[in-house]
Amino acid sequence: MQEKIVILDFGSQTTQLIGRRVRELNIYSEIIPYDKYPFGREAEEGIIGVILSGSPLSVYDKDAFKVDIAAINAAVPVLGICYGAQLMAHTFGGKVEPAPSREYGRAHLSYIDPACPIFKGIEPGAQVWMSHGDTITSLPEGYTCVASTPEVKFAAFCAGPKMWGVQFHPEVYHSECGMQLLENFTVGVCGASRSWSAESFIETTVAELKAQLGNDRVILGLSGGVDSSVAAVLLNRAIGSNLTCIFVDHGMLRKNEFADVLRDYECLGLNVRGVDASDKFFADLAGVTDPERKRKIIGADFIEVFDKEAAKITDARWLGQGTIYPDCIESLSITGTVIKSHHNVGGLPERMNLRLCEPLRLLFKDEVRAVGRALGMPEHLITRHPFPGPGLAVRILGEVTREKVGILQEADHIFIKGLRDSGLYNDVWQAGVILLPVQSVGVMGDERTYERAVALRAVTSTDAMTADWAHLPYEFLAKVSNEIINKVRGVNRVCYDISSKPPATIEWE
């Protein structure tokens, strides 16, 4: 049984981060909604410790999320973070009140109990990150304060031999001693063996896939993106040629991408079928300008093409997918509703009567990359920027035509190659060029021009939920702009998009 640390989610924005930080310590972690804890099944499930997350709620709210902490702690050690700590204090007779002013930002620990195991190796003066509107004003009987800041007396407390609460957020990168604290809890107190690694994941997953799939055939749709590519290579390692991959070219990929990626896949030993269906996509998109209709047409066409190709593999039993952990985590909204955002390819498995096989469903994005590297995949496939399924269609405002795709591919190629050549590619989460539905006047040589404008878009982000525009050097932007205007026929103006998300989105459509 895989040993694990459970993170009980009370709806904090940093819950996923707690899970990731524990994984960074090479310990497997799982995020579970606060009301789904498997009481009494700790040994069966391999649970060796529990972390209670923060929450946007107050513990004294009528509808506050609650859990039987004593029952959990009777089985395994517990660490409460922020709301988790306040819930402990509140439940066992302490007092939690609104702080006179919201405590937010950097703070430094002025007192640390030198004997406390979760503060081992952490010295007074250590920086932590606070973010709470409530504060603990008195501790339950028998609890002891183990750390304070000048403003927050009970910054951390011990609630018994195997239970602690911290008001600050050790999972946040600004908490400089946070990883040490999480390590002290998970390794020092819970006894985690730190055996979770890309290599161990590959070994166990390949064995599991072999047992699960036996001699069955699996179909998998490749997109050129990291997740589907890594899923394919992993499946290939487990079942070899019983995996058939289908890579559909809708005609709106980047310049040369279809041929290049297909070659990469073949070099990786994948049994892959490339299907050029661009004529169908362009025909169905003719005259369509509404962004949502464009997406729907592309989605429906994709399913039709994929379906037709997959039907040729008559004895397939499974559909492989590159779904990753953030796609599957049941996230809590503030109302307590559990929202599950789990995409699969437009209901394909049901339609095709296939079972779903998702070998990466337990991994965060950075872990998918680590697994890809450990599988020996080329770096350019692993560090590739995310790219939308409908491709350049959502970067051409208005009707999509082959001619416009051709122009955009050239401009995009110059921008992306420029980023790679300047060593900026990996500093950026995602980048691309947008073809605007505007023409403007320019002058080239002695000629007046009346041509198209494009916008460059480059953002930094960690998960695409929020994003900032990338502060690319002016010299670099000037060079790219010059090159696009000089080399791409039909473009005479280049803009740089300096909107962040929210309120803008990464894509323009």
Burial of 419-452, coded b for 16+ CB within 10 Å and e otherwise, reads beeeebbeebbbbbbbbbeeeeeeeeeeeebebb
Catalytically active residues are 82, 169, 171
Q: Is 221 in the site for ligand XMP (CB under 6 A)?
A: no
User: Whole-angstrom Cα distance, residue 15 to residue 427?
Assistant: 25
Q: Name the residue with tokens 């004593």.
A: 70
Secondary structure (H, E, C), 210-258 = HHHHCCCEEEEEECCCHHHHHHHHHHHHHHHHHEEEEEEECCCCCCCHH
Among 387, 401, 420, CA closest to 490: 401
User: Whole-angstrom Cα distance, residue 391 to residue 281?
Assistant: 12
Count Cα atoms within 13 angstroms, Cβ side, for 485: 21
Q: Is 506 in the site for ligand XMP (CB under 6 A)?
A: yes
Task: Read off the tokens for 144.
Answer: 């002891």
389 or 490: CB nearest ligand XMP? 389
277 or 394: CB nearest ligand XMP? 394
Q: Is 378 helix (H, G, I), strand (E, B) or coil?
A: coil
- Scanning 57-65, 96-104, 485-493, 500-508 for contacts with ligand XMP by CB under 6 A, the matching segment is 500-508
Q: How far is the CB of 463 from ligand XMP (least distance, A)?
A: 9
Near ligand XMP by CB under 6 A: residue from 217, 295, 361, 373: 295
Secondary structure (H, E, C), 300-319 = HHHHHHHHHHHCCCCCEEEE
Q: How far is the CB of 275 from ligand XMP (least distance, A)?
A: 18
CA distances in angstroms from 137 to 90, 95, 140, 301, listed in the order given: 10, 5, 10, 60
Q: Is 305 in the site for ligand XMP (CB under 6 A)?
A: no
Query: What is the H or E stretch that residue 96 is in?
Result: strand 95-108
Near ligand XMP by CB under 6 A: residue from 430, 455, 469, 488: 430
What part of residues 374-403 is at the interface with ligand XMP (CB under 6 A)?
Answer: 386, 388-390, 394
Strands 217-222 and 163-166, sheet pairing: unpaired
Task: Read off the tokens for 173.
Answer: 């990168």
- Please give the residue whose beta carbon sits closest to ligand XMP in the complex: 389
114 or 386: CB nearest ligand XMP? 386
Report DSSP state, residue 77.
-
H helical segments located in 156-225: 178-183, 198-213
Q: Is 500 in the site for ligand XMP (CB under 6 A)?
A: no
User: Whole-angstrom Cα distance, residue 477 to residue 418?
Assistant: 9
User: Whole-angstrom Cα distance, residue 282 to residue 403?
Assistant: 11
- Identity of residue 26: N
Near ligand XMP by CB under 6 A: residue from 75, 352, 464, 495: 464
33 or 391: CB nearest ligand XMP? 391
Count Cα atoms within 13 angstroms, Cβ side, for 471: 0
Query: What is the H or E stretch that residue 509 is in?
Result: none
User: Whole-angstrom Cα distance, residue 454 to residue 474?
Assistant: 17
Q: Is 505 in the site for ligand XMP (CB under 6 A)?
A: yes
Q: Is 501 in the site for ligand XMP (CB under 6 A)?
A: yes
- Say if residues 433 and 472 touch (Cβ distance below 8 Å): no
User: Whole-angstrom Cα distance, residue 394 to residue 194?
Assistant: 43
| Residues counted in the chain | 509
Residues 269, 274, 275: CA angle, nearest 5 degrees: 165
Estimate to the nearest angstrom the gap between the alpha carbon of 319 and the chain centroid: 22
Residues that bind ligand XMP (CB under 6 A): 295, 386, 388-390, 394, 430, 464, 501, 505-507
